[in-house]
């Protein structure tokens, strides 16, 4: 008999009158807000404008949701297109089923569109939002708790999660809360990226690549614990292979990028600040200050040019006057007459 465990919600939806409030969707929404909030703070610290992260998220988030759902439906097509299933359920995102691989891939496409429209380098934007994405995943994983899904092998550990539902092949009991493991891992990834970015001044997409590599490392062993249905290749779940493949790509990118483009971008957004971050005061130089300095330098340069032009003009006039006076008889100085 289990002495302690994490109870699961009796249902994953609450009703506010006729309006359903679904726990899964609520977790996703909170995660998006946290990612945008943290990303905006990091973007401004890098010299960008406040609000830019949210503007680009308008493109990235919808693309990410579509990509996450597509990945899930394609890799688990039998849940929607096999005999006895209703294909319309493939559109019910609120019931769960978002693949992080598809969400990041297609979300990056949306972010690229938003960045291109504003003349912003995508790698710099990705570096700014990387820790926020990890925190969004940490929050979003609790949506699986509301839906009683994506748990691990049976266990009697004190932090086991109790599954009470028997639908879709579930067996009531206590299991490893893999959603909790991944949530805690993602928090650790976010802290790692923030620390490494401050310590090593990561730029040109390397902070984002570090997030990807660190997440994949954790996802590999957490995925290995899960017991839900999945496609297997050579004894490993499909997501294990995906995590391994993406991990290798992320590490290669970090190494090659550090060699070809060391350091960090000086300017991340046109019209933003110069990107210099004062560690002592914790403030970035504003775009107005930069523009004011440039205008002052320009004005002083113009004044100097006018003064030089005037001096040259006076010299020419004096020269012409001397030349016209030299044709007559040369007059002796008054002092010579007196002597």
Q: Which of 209, 208, 210, 214 is nearest to 184 (CA)?
A: 214
pTM: 0.77
pLDDT at 213: 98
pLDDT of residue 19: 77
pLDDT of residue 301: 58
Q: What is the pLDDT of residue 274?
A: 47
In 3D, which of 256, 134, 273 has the Cα closest to residue 205? 256
Torsion-angle region of 204 (φ positive above 0: left; ψ -120 to 50: alpha; else: beta):
left
Helices (H), the chain: 23-45, 52-75, 78-81, 100-118, 122-140, 142-147, 178-200, 206-225, 238-260, 287-325, 334-338
Determine the 3-state secondary structure of 177 from DSSP. Answer: coil
Burial code (b: 16+ CB inside 10 Å, e: under 16) for 317-334 equals eeeeeeeeeeeeeeeeee
User: Could you tell me the two tokens for 41?
Assistant: 């703070």
pLDDT at 123: 97
Phi, psi of 271 (to 5 degrees): 85, -5
Phi/psi zone of residue 228: left (φ > 0), alpha (ψ -120 to 50 degrees), beta? beta
**Nearest-CA neighbor of 218 among 185, 192, 195?**
185
For residues 132 and 206, give the distance between their C-alpha atoms in angstroms, rounded to a whole number: 15
Read off the tokens for 195: 């620390």
pLDDT tens profile 114-126: 999 999 999 999 9
pLDDT of residue 333: 45
Residues of the chain with pLDDT under 50: 1, 274-297, 326-339
């Amino acid at each position: 008999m289990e002495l302690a465990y994490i109870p699961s919600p009796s249902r994953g939806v609450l009703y506010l009158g006729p309006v359903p409030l679904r726990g899964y969707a609520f977790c996703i929404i909170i995660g998006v807000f946290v990612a945008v909030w943290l990303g905006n703070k990091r973007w401004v610290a890098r010299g960008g404008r406040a609000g830019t992260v949210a503007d680009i998220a308008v493109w990235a988030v919808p693309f990410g949701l579509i990509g996450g759902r597509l990945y899930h439906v394609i890799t688990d097509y039998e849940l929607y297109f096999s005999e006895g299933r209703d294909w319309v359920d493939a559109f019910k995102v609120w019931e769960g089923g978002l693949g992080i691989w598809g969400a990041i891939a297609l979300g990056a496409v949306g972010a690229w569109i938003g960045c291109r429209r504003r003349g912003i380098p995508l790698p710099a934007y990705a570096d700014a939002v990387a820790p926020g994405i990890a925190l969004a995943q940490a929050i979003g994983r609790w949506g699986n708790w509301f839906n009683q899904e994506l748990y691990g092998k049976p266990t009697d550990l004190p932090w086991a999660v109790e599954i009470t539902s028997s639908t879709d092949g579930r067996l009531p009991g206590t299991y490893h809360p893999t959603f909790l493991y991944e949530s805690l891992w993602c928090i650790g990834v976010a802290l790692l990226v923030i620390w490494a970015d401050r310590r090593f001044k990561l730029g040109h997409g390397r902070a984002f690549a570090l997030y990807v590599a660190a997440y994949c490392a954790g996802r590999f062993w957490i995925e290995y614990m899960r017991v839900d249905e999945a496609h297997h290749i050579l004894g490993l779940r499909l997501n294990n292979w995906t995590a391994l493949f993406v991990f290798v790509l992320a590490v290669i990118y970090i190494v090659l990028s550090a060699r070809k483009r060391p350091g960090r971008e000086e300017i991340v957004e046109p019209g933003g600040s110069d990107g210099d971050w004062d560690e002592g005061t914790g403030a970035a130089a504003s775009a107005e200050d930069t523009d004011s300095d440039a205008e002052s330098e320009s004005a002083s340069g113009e004044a100097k040019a006018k003064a030089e032009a005037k001096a040259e003009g006076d010299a020419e006039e004096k020269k012409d006057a001397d030349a016209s006076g030299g044709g007559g008889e040369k007059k002796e100085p008054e002092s010579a007459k007196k002597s």
